[in-house]
Structure 1
Amino acid sequence: MSLSTADRSLMEPVTRRLSALRPLSEKARASLEYAVLEGLHRAGPGEDLISEGDSVDSVRVVVSGWLGRYKTLEDGRRQIVNFIFPGETCDAYAFLLSTMDHSIATLTPAVYAEIKRPRFESLVAGDRSLAEAFWCETLLNIAIQREWAINLGRRVALERVAHLFCEIFERLRPIGMVDGNSCVMPVTQTDLADATGLSVVHLNRTIQELRASGMIVLRERTLTIPDLDALKDAALYSPSYLQLYQGAEATRRDRPSR
């Protein structure tokens, strides 16, 4: 399948993200591109792509836009338990469960692909590099979830927000969505509050504190971090839990030549 310039641009976050986890073979890249482009859908902000309790029969791959995994209490309070960025899946192997234990909603306009389970299983069975990349993504999500648990359980408000900004910046790097010391920040303060377990008022006050200290500039849906090391220090941030993004080069060195 020969991709047009527009299709290649659309697919870039997906192939860059997975290639950062495991170097993909040319065969894997071509098969994945075809499967994604064949199943594209668009959604506006605030749409549930799948809800808690739904059965799962496909893998959703985010092509553009930001999504959030969330749980809601009976009184309507929402906790975002992770963001999903371009190039990431909504749990590659969720179809192994009988039903979803959380919901996934768009936080911005989004483009995503649905790959039915038989097609996905055929893709990963047909190429080891693709199977490894998706398993690495699953392991990475688990590592991120552990870090978010520490955020809620042990970090104070300023550390939580600073840590989230550091993580967003680092997770956007592999797909080329970082420009110098800036990255997009298209979500609302309500979304950020729900992700950090803070009220909107407390979240806003914390952002103002980070701004006043000169550690961030947040303007026109863009986050700028003048000194990333200083922000990491304030957040008690260590990128080690994102180590799988540095695994591709090591895997390439260790894999025997053919």
Structure 2
Amino acid sequence: MPSNFHPDHNPLIRKLESIFTLTNDERQALQSLPMQVTVIKEDQDIVREGDRPSRSCLILSGFACVYKMTVQGKRQIVSFAIAGDIPDLQSLHLKVLDNSVATISPCTAGFIAHEALWDLCTRYPRLAAAFWRETLIDAAIFREWVINVGRREGPTRMAHVLCELMVRLRAVGLVEDHVCDLPITQGEFADALGFTTVHVNRVLQQLRAEGLIVTQGTRLTIPDWDRLKQMGEFDPTYLHLVREDAAA
């Protein structure tokens, strides 16, 4: 493991604790979960559609995306993955992947053998239920993105995704005063929102001009959270966060 990773800083623990209080035994089991920690450069596939993986990938730091490709080679990003996410957790049950996962920024990833996950789930039923819950929330995010891409207009579409990311990042302790690091390029937003990069640029300019967002490098600041939520028609119910401070 890289020297800068410590099990106590495991974002999976932070994420699960945004849902329920872990027992000491559950926390220790998660801290002791064997994983191969690897640093992966940006724009690299972690797993690809059609793979039959024997392990799942926990994002420890950085940003990744779940995507599919058309026959013509066009990419559709169907969700973003952040620290604490296991974007290919379904491979524990579905042996052939039907989507790909790639890094957006440099990522630190922990690869966990399926055997270790099965053993953890057998010994700790509450953790097994939590992992099942996470796959259900992934499906809820996919459903929300269908309506976002299919029915919402440009500024609303972008505002909704920015609100989602802010709430999810807050749940794992990566937001302070509505400020976060968001190293997602305009091209990646285009692939997620069904826009051209030119249209993404125009929408971002509009949100800035209306005082809804401030960007400086990869830093995103939301000066008026309530207005951005209204613009994005954003209701965090589909994220199923239990703690009020995470969903606020």
Please tell me whether the aligned partners of residues 25 and 129 of structure 1 are also in contact (alpha carbons under 8 angstroms). Answer: no
After TM superposition, the runs of 4+ consecutive aligned structure 1 residues lying more than 4 A away are: none
Q: Distance in 1 between matches of 2:93 and 2:203?
A: 40
Please tell me whether the aligned partners of residues 56 and 97 of structure 1 are also in contact (alpha carbons under 8 angstroms). Answer: no
Q: How do 1:76-87 and structure 2 match up within 5 A?
A: 76-87=73-84
Q: 2:242 aligns with which of 246, 252, 255?
A: 246
Q: How do 1:45-60 and structure 2 match up within 5 A?
A: 45-60=42-57
Q: Distance in 1 between matches of 2:41 and 2:9?
A: 17
Q: Distance in 1 between matches of 2:8 and 2:192?
A: 30
List gaps (5 residues or longer) in structure 2.
none
Q: Distance in 2 between matches of 1:247 and 1:224?
A: 22
TM-score (norm 1): 0.89
Question: After the TM superposition, which of the residue ranges 23-32 and 188-197 deviates more from structure 2?
Answer: 23-32
What is the identity, as a one-letter code, of the residue corresponding to 1:109?
Answer: P
Q: 1:17 aligns with which of 1, 15, 18?
A: 15
TM-score (norm 2): 0.93
1:7 equivalenced with 2:6 (yes/no):
yes
Secondary structure class of the residue paired with 1:28: helix
Residues 79, 167 of structure 1: alpha-carbon distance in 2 compared, 3 angstrom cutoff: same
Residues 6, 65 of structure 1: alpha-carbon distance in 2 compared, 3 angstrom cutoff: closer
Please tell me whether the aligned partners of residues 21 and 136 of structure 1 are also in contact (alpha carbons under 8 angstroms). Answer: no
Q: 2:127 aligns with which of 130, 138, 142?
A: 130
Question: After the TM superposition, which of the residue ranges 78-87 and 96-105 deviates more from structure 2?
Answer: 96-105
The match for 2:66 is 69
Q: Deviations over 1:40-66 (max 9, x none)?
A: 111000110100111121121111111
1:214 equivalenced with 2:211 (yes/no):
yes
Q: Deviations over 1:138-181 (max 9, x none)?
A: 11111111110010111011110000000000000111111102
Secondary structure class of the residue paired with 1:202: helix
Q: 2:187 aligns with which of 181, 187, 190?
A: 190
Query: By how many angstroms is 1:18 displaced?
Result: 1.5
Number of residue-to-residue matches in the alignment: 243
Please tell me whether the aligned partners of residues 23 and 129 of structure 1 are also in contact (alpha carbons under 8 angstroms). Answer: no
1:32 equivalenced with 2:30 (yes/no):
yes
Q: Distance in 2 between matches of 1:71 and 1:8?
A: 32
Larger helix fraction of residues: 1
Query: By how many angstroms is 1:5 displaced?
Result: 9.1
Q: Deviations over 1:76-120 (max 9, x none)?
A: 211100001101102323232231101000101111111111111
List gaps (5 residues or longer) in structure 1.
250-258
